[in-house]
């Protein structure tokens, strides 16, 4: 039997065990986490502007999107952006993705991850407080510039879109939410509800833009508001379906619909826990190997990349065959003590370790290992 066929058989076996049992096993090791980074970019649509290409006459508005103006100074954009990147990096290093905005994080990593994000949030809020203290001065400068270049009427139109200091602070934050993996009630949040919540959150930026444009662009804002209202309605419907008393009339259709959604997300969760840590580890090892082949200069970041990938792999070791875990543990001390100098001087220690990492990486990527990992996970559910 081929590795692909074995994997398909294991997938069928997991399906036969039932989504709730699979979720129960995942919940022994992991949380779901969502990190939302709120920021105000200060962009606004310029209504009535004409768009041209080079010396050509203005294009018809049906062929263009309204140009955007900027209320936030570029220097503050540059100060804020690194916090967004840092928060996303913390999440990616500690977890694997389940779906847009929702990640799976091992229990042992959750506390450190939360602490790191809280540190970033504190620094983020300090920069926002500094921005707020400077905001009256920034707004006054903007008013003078707009009035000089476009007249008082232009500023009168723009002024309602500019938040005051208190409102400005509320537009920036980093919010972290953890959920137990599981179904409705005390064991967790229904995954179909998480799905609708995520869709709603994705529209929040559009909703804020719509609020600014409401006076001059009623039809566009109305469309956005209707879209958000539809998401809220879907969210309420999903929650009601999870909590309502099931009658005999709707029993079959309700179970079928809920099972289809849950099975699909459970399959995504299992695949992500199997594939993502292996992919990250393999890419880090390949990066080192390519650097050695071209005799490039190894830096601390190259080794740290492998060490981080190794740590994540071990965090999800319940999805890796026991025999391979033993091989990974054999290289742990060598990897922890590896230095750029070892690699750059082509020491025998670095050469041996590189060969061992490459061998483990190839074994991890094989269909056989993937199949055995899934079988191991399925057996744990049956115990």
Supply the pTM of this predicted model.
0.61
- Sorted by where each begins, the domain ranges of the chain are 30-48+64-182, 269-382
Taking 60 as the threshold, does the pLDDT of residue 105 lie above it?
yes
Q: Cβ distance 102 to 309 under 8 Å? A: no
Mean pLDDT within 249-276: 62
- pLDDT value of position 359: 92
Taking 70 as the threshold, does the pLDDT of residue 194 lie above it?
no
Give the pair of three-digit tokens for residue 160.
Answer: 């309602």
Residues in a beta bridge with 103: 33, 97
- pLDDT value of position 14: 52
Mean predicted lDDT score pLDDT of the chain: 74
Question: How many helices (DSSP H) and strands (DSSP E) are in the chain?
Answer: 16, 6
Q: pLDDT grade, residue 350 (50/70/90)?
A: confident
pLDDT tens sequence across 295-319: 778 889 889 999 999 999 998 888 8
What is the rounded CA–CA span in Å between residue 371 and residue 30? 21
Closest-CA residue to 133 (of 161, 168, 160, 162): 168
- pLDDT value of position 235: 61
Element (H, E) at 106: strand 102-106
Mean pLDDT within 222-227: 63
- pLDDT value of position 54: 57
Taking 80 as the threshold, does the pLDDT of residue 378 lie above it?
no
Percent of the chain with pLDDT over 70: 63
């Amino acid at each position: 039997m081929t590795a692909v066929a074995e994997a398909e058989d294991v997938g069928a076996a997991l399906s036969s065990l039932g989504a709730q049992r699979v979720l129960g096993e995942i919940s022994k090791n992991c949380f779901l986490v969502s990190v939302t980074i709120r920021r105000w970019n200060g962009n606004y649509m310029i209504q009535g502007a004409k768009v041209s290409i080079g010396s050509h006459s203005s294009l018809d508005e049906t062929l263009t999107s309204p140009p955007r103006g900027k209320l936030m100074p570029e220097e503050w954009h540059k100060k804020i952006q690194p916090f967004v990147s840092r928060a996303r990096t913390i999440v990616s290093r500690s977890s694997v993705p389940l779906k847009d905005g929702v990640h799976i994080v091992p229990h042992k990593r959750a506390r450190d991850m939360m602490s790191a994000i809280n540190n970033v949030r504190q620094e983020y809020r300090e920069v926002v407080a500094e921005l707020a203290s400077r905001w009256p001065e920034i707004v006054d400068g903007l008013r003078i510039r707009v009035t000089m270049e476009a007249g008082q009427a232009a500023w009168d139109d723009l002024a309602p879109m500019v938040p005051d200091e208190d409102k400005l602070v509320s537009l920036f934050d980093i919010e972290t939410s953890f959920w137990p993996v599981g179904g409705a009630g005390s064991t967790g949040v229904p995954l179909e509800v998480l799905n609708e919540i995520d869709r709603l959150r994705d529209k929040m930026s559009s909703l804020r833009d719509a609020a600014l444009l409401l006076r001059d662009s009623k039809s566009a804002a109305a469309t956005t508001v209707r879209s958000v209202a539809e998401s809220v309605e879907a969210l309420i419907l999903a929650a009601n379906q999870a909590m309502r008393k099931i009658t005999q009339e709707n029993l079959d259709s309700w179970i079928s619909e809920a099972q289809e959604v849950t099975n699909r997300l459970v399959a995504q969760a299992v695949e992500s826990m199997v594939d993502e840590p292996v992919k990250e580890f393999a890419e880090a090892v390949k990066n080192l190997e390519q650097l050695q082949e071209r005799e490039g200069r190894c830096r601390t970041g190259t080794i740290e990349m492998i060490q981080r990938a190794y740590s994540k792999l071990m965090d999800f070791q319940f999805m890796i065959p026991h025999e391979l875990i033993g091989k990974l543990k054999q290289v742990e001390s060598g990897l922890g003590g590896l230095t750029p100098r070892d690699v750059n001087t082509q020491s025998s220690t670095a050469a041996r370790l590189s060969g061992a990492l490459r061998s483990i990486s190839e074994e991890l990527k094989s269909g056989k290992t993937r199949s055995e990992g899934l079988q191991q996970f399925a057996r744990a559910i049956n115990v």
